[in-house]
Each structure stands twice: as C-alpha cells, then as structure tokens.
Amino acid sequence: MPDNVTYDFSGKVVLVTGAARGQGRAHALAFARSGADVAICDIAEQVHSIDYPLASAEELETTADEIRGHGVRCLAVAADVRDDAAVGALTDDVVSELGRLDVLVNNAGVNAIHSVEEMPLEVWNDVLAINLSGVYHCSRHAARAMKTAGGGRIISTGSVNTALSMPMNAAYTAAKHGVLGLTRAMAIDLAPHAINVNLVSPGLVNTALLACAEAPHVPEDFFDRLLRVGGQVSLFTDDVVPLEPAVVSHAVLWLASDAAAFVTGAEIRVDAGFSVS
C-alpha cells in the first residue's frame, strides 16, 4: 500500500480464496500488513480442463509463511470452491481456529479461451463452477458466520468482462456477468444483517491467468482481437501494460474498511478505463 494510505484491521479475520498467488496473494498480504489474521485457500492442484498451470500446495504454504511474517495468524487450507461441503468445512475451520470471520474476499477464478462452438462442455462447466458457483458457495457459508458475529464484508473479484466481452471468452464472460448479478442480489438479502456485499472489477492484471491466452489452440492474434473489441487497455498510456495485483488490493481493502460502511451492491472498476474506452 502507498505510505500515505493505511488501514487498521487489527482484531479482524479475513478469508481470501484463490490466495496462493496473483491477486489473492496480494490481497491477503495487504490485510496481513494491516493487522488482520488471514485465512487463505486455494485448490492447490490442476483442473484438467484449464490450459495453464494452477497454483501448487507449495505456493499456498509459501504465501502463508509470508503472511505469518507480518506477525499475524494464518490458516492455509487446500480447498476447491466448487465443492460446497468443502467450503462449509473451510468456513467452520476459520471460525474454530481464528475465532470469527469478518471479511470474505472471493478471488478464486480461472479462464479458458475457446470459441463458443468449439468449447468443450467440461471447460464451460468448470469455469462457471469455479468463477460463479464458487462465489455463491463461499458467500453463503461466510454470511452465516458473519451474522453470528454481527456483520461483515463480502468482496468478490469481477472483471471488465462484467461490462463487455472478449473474443473466445463466453464462459468467463457469463460467469463474471453472473457474479455482478449475484453481488447485487446478496447485497439486498444480507443488508439487514449488516453485511456489505461488493464487487471489484479489475482490467488486465499481471497474473498467471493471462497464460490462458498461450494455449496452442488460441490464435496468435488473440490480443489484437481483444483490443478491437475492448478498446484501449489503459486510458493513461498507449502501451499494453497489465496492472500489478497490489493496485487492485487498494480497492479491496477500502471496501473492507469503515470508510465504505454504506457502500453495498456496488461494482468498483480498477481497469485504468479499459471498460469505458
């Protein structure tokens, strides 16, 4: 975080999914630096339908060690957000081990580039199950724990794909559009329990997910096609430079803070203007 932007999450417990690396890792470490105890989960194994390597158990443990290095507690669990029972057990473990659950960051997500008519059904099912159903599973179990604690915050990871689509990106787009609708619906249902529900939608971010475009079946001009549909990646520069994950963490921590006490059902785009260009 910038030196002039600080948060104090001392006494709070935060759960970040998909936290072994990338955006999830950045968010988890930002909360740890701000004093929160942090639980992290990741599938920590490969999903057959996904064309790039997913995070490993070793990466999950390395991130956990880095979190503990900030003098806070950390619970690291290998969990598949597609499995509702596993998510329920994870939430129970967080409350049992760390005492409560105040903030959930739904970050687990994957992408796969396929034309709609050639996309294997397994890809469609897995992308929707991880990126949309996984958010529902984690949120509903977290909401139960937060109701007991008197309130909380649920923050999910969207995408510029909540506002537009990309070539060969039907499953990801459908999932991210769905997460926006789910966010708004949950905000209405959970407001009486003092639970805020919001969405942070990043643009192009420098994470391993970008490797989905390197699969052998993806056309060499994929990014050229993407720019023709989506416009300029950043309004601040003509260069195609992905954002760093820590940039997105600023919005996540703000939504989890007291400064955003009356923000719910909102989508905050951290995309350098990509979705409006």
pLDDT of amino acid 217? 79
Residue 49, Ramachandran bin (φ over 0: left; ψ between -120 and 50: alpha; else beta): alpha
Q: What is the pLDDT of residue 171?
A: 94
Q: What is residue 275's predicted lDDT score, i.e. its pLDDT?
A: 82
CA 27 from chain center: how many Å? 9
Q: What angle do CA 268, 38, 135 make, to 5 degrees?
A: 45
Q: What is the dihedral of CA 186, 35, 258, 92, to 10 degrees?
A: 30
Q: Residue 125 and residue 47: Cα distance in Å, rounded?
A: 12
Question: Which pLDDT does position 262 carry in this prediction?
Answer: 97
The Cα–Cα gap between 270 and 152 comes to 23
User: Which residue type does 149 have?
Assistant: A
Question: For residue 273, what pLDDT is reported?
Answer: 84
pTM of the full predicted structure? 0.93
Q: What is the pLDDT of residue 236?
A: 85
- Of the candidates 7, 52, 136, 172, the residue annotated as catalytic is 172
SS3 260: helix
CA–CA distance, 1 with 252 (Å, rounded to integer): 11
Average pLDDT per block of 10 residues along the chain, 277 residues long = 79 98 97 98 94 93 98 98 98 98 97 90 97 98 96 96 85 95 98 98 78 69 69 79 89 98 97 80
**Residue pLDDT, tens place only, 57-89:** 999 999 999 999 999 999 999 999 999 999 999
Residue 251: per-residue pLDDT = 97
pLDDT of residue 226: 67
Q: What pairing do the DSSP bridges indicate for beta strands 74-78 and 103-106?
A: unpaired
Residue the block writes with tokens 């499953």: 171
Q: Kindly indicate whether the domain formed by 13-276 is annotated with CATH number 3.40.50.720.
A: yes
Q: Which residues lie below 8 Å from residue 95, measured CB to CB, with a gap of 6+?
A: 101, 145
Q: 39 and 102 in contact (C-beta within 8 Å)?
A: no
Nearest to 215 by CA among 45, 49, 54, 52: 52
Q: Return the structure tokens found at 209.
A: 């997910």
52 is catalytic: no
For the stretch 191-204, pLDDT in tens is 999 999 999 999 88
Per-domain boundaries in the chain: 13-276
For residues 63 and 40, the answer to whether their CB atoms sit within 8 Å is yes
In whole angstroms, give the CA distance from residue 211 to residue 110: 10
Q: Are strands 74-78 and 37-42 parallel, antiparallel or unpaired?
A: parallel
* Nearest Cα residue to 250 out of 4, 46, 71: 4
| Nearest residue to 159 via CA among 213, 194, 203 | 203
